[in-house]
Copies of this chain bind each other. A is one copy, B any other.
Amino acid sequence: MSTTSTPGPARVDGRAPDELRPVRITRNWLEHAEGSVLVEFGSTKVLCAASFTEGVPRWRKGSGNGWVTAEYAMLPRATNTRGERESVKGRIGGRTHEISRLIGRSLRAVVDTAALGENTVVLDCDVLQADGGTRTAAITGAYVALADAVAWAKGRGLVRASKQPLTGSVSAVSVGVVDARPVLDLRYTEDVAAHTDMNVVMTGDGRFVEVQGTAEAVPFDRAELDAMLDLAAGGCARLAGIQQDALAGAGA
């Protein structure tokens, strides 16, 4: 099967199959947080706030190692129809749990917790507006907020100047099979139409941190899987560049 060469119908917004939506990373969006980023993948907007605090959770005390974790949530009207607040329901849903855990694991894949010392960084990723790819935007933005928080801590001597708690960068993108054609960075309408939906998290040097593929209706074969992995690798490489550019900027 040869999927990537299929021309197929145009995508909903005219993008090529391997084309990202416009990605924008705005640093220092908040005044209080040690690192904060508004990340936009097209109409998807996620506010990522990094909170740096000295000390670690009880179960990690005395280990000499730091901790990085994340919490993901969606504002009730981020989506097309209003969703009930999880605080009102009194419980976190399974999807929220899954994504929070995914973001935390993804970031820890590029953190040297010994170099971080006994400090904690919590990444709050709140979706202000959703149009597909909220978890991948969150990971991509959270990395930049985390980098800013680490720099802030080094500036205040909370992390030694000689230490490098970040061993690399990390970003994420979605891929899927829509109309029998693998495509990159799905919008919401594409996500709904996709037979297969995959989220891929990769380091800046091109290795995999997470691969999560789900056949929504029709199981996929190895050729489709390979094509999706190729698209994802290309997309993450471009996102790594955008992150690097953002961090090279003035910062405010």
- Using CB atoms and an 8 Å cutoff, list the residues of chain A in contact with chain B: 30-33, 36, 43, 47, 49, 51, 53, 71, 73, 75-82, 85-98, 100-101, 105, 109, 122, 124, 126, 128-129, 131, 198, 202-203, 206-215, 217, 219-222, 225, 229, 233
Contacts and interface: CB of A to CB of B under 8 A. Distances in A.
Contacts of A207: 215, 219-221
Contact of A215 (B30, B73, B100, B209): B209
Contacts of A47: 75, 128
Given A76-B49, A86-B87, A212 B212 contact: yes
A92 B87 contact: yes
B210 A211 contact: no
A97 B47 CA distance: 24
B73 A87 contact: yes
Nearest to A92: B87
6 contacts: A82-B122, A87-B91, A95-B101, A198-B211, A206-B221, A211-B213
Given A82-B122, A124-B75, A31 B43 contact: yes
Contact of A208 (B71, B88, B94, B220): B220
A210 B92 CA distance: 24
Contacts of A126: 75
A225 B226 CA distance: 10
A203 B219 contact: yes
A219 B225 contact: no
